[in-house]
Amino acid sequence: MAVGWHGSAEAEALLRAYLRHLTDERQLASTTVEAYTGDLERLGVFLDEFLGHQEWGWTALDRLALRGFLGWCRRRGDGRRTVARRLSSVRSFFGFLHREGHLPRDPTRGVRSPRTDRRLPGHLTRTDLREIFETVEARAAENTLVGTRDLLILELLYGSGLRLAELHGMNRGAVDRGRRLVRVRGKGDKERIVPVTETAVVALERYEPRRRETLVRARGGEGAEGGPGGPVGAGGVDAAALLVNPRGGRLSRRSIQEAVRRSLDTAAGGAGLSAHALRHSFATHLLENGADLLAVKELLGHVSLSTTQIYTHTTKERLKRVYRDAHPRTDEEETGG
């Protein structure tokens, strides 16, 4: 625990056991475990103040104390989203304690999370995307590995609404050019089939020779596909990967993100946006053109329709802007005419 941790020795031991559970059994990322740790240490600081002593156990947290904790966080400047995240961390911890038999009941049950405003995802206008693709297509015309690869990245992220992780893990054989479909492995290792655009197929055909040359060079003249020892060979060469780096290895997520940012920065509306903005733009533009919400949900690979519905808020905001800018009565009201 961090320096300054109070509570009883038993309380600290149970917290340590929970953090080991997150790391060893759930195999969460270190940054995620650190976030849980910080939230629960903050709860410990609150309990010091709330109970007036420093030798408490976790049974001291009842629903009254939990509500007090949420208010305490707000008074110290935490926003609603942060408070909701802290409550989620506390729920997970106390659920663990209850399941393991350390608590007779879970005091977090029935406590509602604070209402949060759903943030509208950043996305690009069609004008922005037209400018971006014109620039990236010009680079691809130079027929380099990076130029052709950057175009393919944009075509798949925007044209098929892929997640960054999905594109990173994609293998060459996932794309069915004849049927213009791509097999994607999404969250939870769930597979889905999504369409690819004709321009994405053209971009792939332009990129393929550069990819093949890169693999042959990386293998010292050996054939690009397959080879001894399976698809990943000596020096990290990955013949199965769709996107490869100059050494023939699978292109990293960071490199994909950098390629996207390099492309998006060519348009004023794209400056500062990430790869996920292309996925947001894919969904927003489909809905603006009348696509069915359920169909968009399946294309995005969302489990819940409520996750997809955030894009309807984006399109509604656009309609409001159009209305405010175009309707004469709104202008009169704002100017006092």
Residue 123 designated active-site: no
Burial of 221 from C-beta contacts in 10 A (0-12 / 13-18 / 19+) = exposed
Instruction: Report angle CA 23, 29, 31 to the nearest 5 degrees.
Output: 110
**Cα 12 from Cα 57, distance rounded (Å):** 9
Residue 102 designated active-site: no
Give me the phi and psi of 312, to 5 degrees please.
-70, -30
Q: Please identify which of the residues 80, 177, 192, 302 carries the catalytic annotation.
A: 302
Q: Is 333 helix (H, G, I), strand (E, B) or coil?
A: helix
In 89-242 the beta strands, taken as DSSP E runs, fall at: 175-176, 181-185, 191-195
Burial of 319 from C-beta contacts in 10 A (0-12 / 13-18 / 19+) = exposed
Q: What letter does residue 290 receive in the DSSP assignment?
A: T
Nearest to 129 by CA among 285, 309, 301, 316: 285
Q: Please identify which of the residues 76, 179, 187, 320 carries the catalytic annotation.
A: 187
Residue 187 designated active-site: yes
Strands 191-195 and 175-176: unpaired
By the 8 A CB rule, do 248 and 215 touch?
A: yes
Six token digits for residue 49? 């103040």
Continuous H helices in 141-240: 145-160, 164-168, 198-218
Residue recorded with tokens 């390629």: 259
**Cα 256 from Cα 51, distance rounded (Å):** 50
Q: Please identify which of the residues 163, 177, 185, 210 carries the catalytic annotation.
A: 163
Q: List Cβ neighbours of 286 (8 Å cut-off, separation of 6 or more).
A: 295, 296, 299
Q: Please identify which of the residues 279, 280, 285, 297 carries the catalytic annotation.
A: 279
Active site residues: 163, 187, 276, 279, 302, 311
